[in-house]
């Protein structure tokens, strides 16, 4: 219980720090656009990603062995959320030829690297759970 409270408190503090950064560094004229972007992300998550997630999970319970189900589900949630959040920068929305400093990071390579980390984490977790299910270490 204390661990959960500590994690929750850390999350609240990080959220407050993010709100402070947003309010102190963002041009007030762009606040509405930011709120709309966040709202679109929530709608995309709740309506699109959740529906896909439920469908894939139902299929996964029939196709995947039991030890691989939980890691795959966690990976799907993490990867799906990561992808939904990354769509604007992956699609280079807002990039302008007259300002090369906009979207000047290797977003696609970063997305691939994070996706690979998710896959490796699932493989490790699935392997460990499979060994435990067989009675191994």
0.85 exceeded by the pTM? no
**Tokens of residue 77, six digits:** 């949630």
**Tokens of residue 76, six digits:** 């799907």
Q: How far apart are CA 66 and CA 133, in angstroms?
A: 9
Helices within the chain (DSSP H only) = 2-25, 31-43, 50-63, 66-90, 107-133
Share the mean pLDDT of the chain.
87
Residue 8, pLDDT score:
96
3-state SS, residue 99: strand
* pLDDT, tens digit (0-9, with 9 covering 90-100), for 74-119: 888 888 888 888 888 888 877 777 887 877 788 899 999 999 999 9
H or E segment to which residue 4 belongs: helix 2-25
């Amino acid at each position: 219980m204390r661990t959960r409270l500590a994690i929750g408190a850390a999350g609240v503090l990080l959220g407050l720090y993010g709100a402070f950064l947003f309010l102190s560094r963002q041009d007030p004229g762009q606040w509405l656009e930011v709120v709309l972007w966040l709202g679109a992300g929530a709608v995309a998550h709740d309506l699109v990603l959740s529906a896909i997630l439920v469908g894939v999970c139902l299929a996964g319970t029939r196709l995947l062995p039991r030890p691989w189900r939980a890691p795959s589900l966690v990976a799907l949630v993490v990867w799906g959320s990561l992808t939904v959040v990354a769509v604007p920068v992956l699609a280079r929305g807002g990039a302008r030829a007259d300002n090369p400093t906009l979207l000047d990071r290797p977003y696609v390579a970063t997305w691939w690297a994070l996706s690979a980390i998710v896959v490796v984490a699932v493989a490790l977790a699935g392997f460990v759970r499979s060994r435990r299910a067989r009675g191994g270490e």
